[in-house]
Amino acid sequence: MGAIRKPLDPPSREQTAFLERAIEQYGKATYNFAYRLTRNEADARDLTQDAFIRVYRAWRSFVPGTSFLSWIYRIVTNLYRDELRRKKGRFQEEIPEDNAPQEFGGERPLAVNPIDEYVEGQLSEPLSRSLGMLSPDQRQVVILADIEEYSYQEIAEIMGCSIGTVRSRLHRARALLRRLVQKQQSQAQ
Amino acid sequence: MQHPTTERLIDYIHAALAPQDDAAVHMHLDECSECRQEHAVQIRLSEMLRADAAAHERELPPMLKAQIWNAVRSLEPTAMDRVRAWLRPAYSVPVAAALIVAAFVAPGYLHHNASGAPSIDAAYYLQDHAAMNGATPFGDHSGSAAAQFEETSNVDQTVLHAVPVVGMARVSR
Ligand SMILES: [Zn+2]
């Protein structure tokens, strides 16, 4: 590059305002999404922070008028996926996904946190606990379809997969959830 | 009609069936109590998931907000930031206009002009503040999102691709 380098511009007012508005309007939703995915506060905080840093850096690539939430959920999804890959070795084996090959991760099955290690006060709740036993992909598709109420098409775009994959993941996740909840309920009786 | 499978009922409650299939399942549920029962189970599961999520909803920790701002302030400038800072005079309109011509001549994001100094696609500047200038910068809950996306999509082809753009809008929540 050239010999003369001017000092860096301070961040533009627009860029700062963009981030401020993003945090204000979507910080809570993003944090809750991250928490539902990771199921522990420390990871949710890290994920949220990293996501907003990306928002700040890439703010120009946000298309005005489109859904900011979808955009940041996609960022969170990618960051979470990277993080899972990094931590892979530290997790235990997960519950097999009905003999289906793992679509997210790679050669070895990815795992959830050792059964809700961090989930305070939720162990007694069959549904919360069952959610923690799904694979990250299954959990995410359930969160997006049933809690966030996104369409299959929107989920496919957020997760970067086909609609068919969304559909089959959701079917498997719900079948598994149902079995897990029933099992826990019958054990409790 | 045959009983719809559980998978079909799951697609049905997520409004993911084609209109004809949706209507067929709807009609079937009217006349089949067995399937109505399975349908109710699926609805109940979705309701439980939403109730569970609502029960565990958290506020954004104020500390986290502060941490995000601290992290942003301490960011190392990216290569792009450096190029941008170095090219500050190029923000003037005549130069941007000249760059529009350059953008049509040479593809790609960065160009090298005659003196070897890098310059940036004019489209980059044109899009620069679009996010803040729009009437509804964040399209969530916005009805005209699709139209706005149309308007900006051409420009965005040339813009930073650090993060993939999710080019869609929420229709309804
Ligand atoms: Zn039936």
Q: For A11-32, what is each residue's pLDDT tens digit?
A: 688 899 999 999 999 999 999 9
DSSP letters along A31-90, please?
HHHHHHHH-SHHHHHHHHHHHHHHHHHTGGGS-TTS-HHHHHHHHHHHHHHHHHHHHGGG
Asked if the model's pLDDT at residue B155 lies above 50, the reply is no
Q: ipTM score here?
A: 0.76
Distance from CA of A138 to the nearest CA of B (A): 13
pLDDT of B74 reads: 87
At B139-149, the pLDDT tens digits run 675 433 333 33
Q: Which residue of B has its CA nearest to A176?
A: B45
Residue contact B72–A52, C-beta within 8 A: yes
Residues of A in contact with B41 (CB under 8 A): 178
Mutate to test the interface with B, among A52, A66, A76, A163 (most CBs of B within 10 A): A66
CB contact at 8 A, B91 and B125: yes
Bigger pLDDT: A63 or B78?
A63
Residue in B with minimal Cα distance to A121: B56
CB proximity B78 to A under 8 Å: yes
Residue-level pLDDT at B94: 54
- How much of chain A, in percent, has pLDDT values that exceed 90? 61
CA of A11 relative to ligand 1 center, distance in Å? 61
Cα–Cα distance for residue pair A132/B85, rounded to 1 Å = 46
Retrieve residue A66's tokens. Answer: 């489109």
| Element (DSSP H or E) covering residue A140 | helix A136-142
Q: Mind listing the pLDDT tens digit for each residue in B15-27?
A: 999 999 999 999 9
Q: Ligand 1: distance of its center to the CA of B32 in Å?
A: 5
pLDDT of residue A125: 81
Condensed to tens digits (0 to 9), the pLDDT of residues A33-79 reads: 999 999 999 999 999 999 999 999 999 899 988 899 999 999 999 99
The hierarchical CATH code for the domain A10-95 is: 1.10.1740.10
Q: CB–CB of A142 and B159 under 8 A?
A: no
Shortest CA gap A106–chain B (Å): 22
The residues of chain A that CATH labels 1.10.1740.10 are 10-95
Among candidates A136, A154, A130, A135, which has minimal Cα distance to A144?
Answer: A154
Residue B17 tokens, joined: 């069936």
Nearest to B117 among A2, A21, A74 (CB): A2
Q: Which of B84, B145, B164 sits opposite A9 (nearest CB)?
A: B84
Contact A146 B50 (CB under 8 A): yes
Between A158 and B89, residue with greater pLDDT: A158
Whole-Å CA distances, A48 to A76, A156, A158, B167: 7, 21, 16, 21
Under an 8 A CB cutoff, do A66 and B139 touch? yes
pLDDT of B161 > 50? The answer is no
Reported as a pLDDT band with limits 50, 70 and 90, residue B113 is very low
The CATH code of domain A98-189 reads 1.10.10.10
Would you say the pTM of this structure is higher than 0.80?
A: no
B71 to chain A, minimum CA–CA distance in Å?
7
Residue A75 forms contact with B (CB below 8 Å): yes
The stretch A162-177 carries a mean pLDDT of 97
Cα separation, A135 vs A78, whole angstroms = 16
Q: What is the mean pLDDT of residues B72-76?
A: 84
A39 chain-B contacts, CB cut-off 8 A:
none
B30 touches chain A (CB under 8 A): no
Model confidence pLDDT, tens digit, residues A68-110: 999 999 999 999 999 999 887 655 444 444 444 434 333 333 3
CB B148 within 8 A of CB A64: yes
The percentage of chain B sitting over the pLDDT mark of 70, rounded to a whole number, equals 45
B163 and chain A in contact, CB less than 8 A: yes
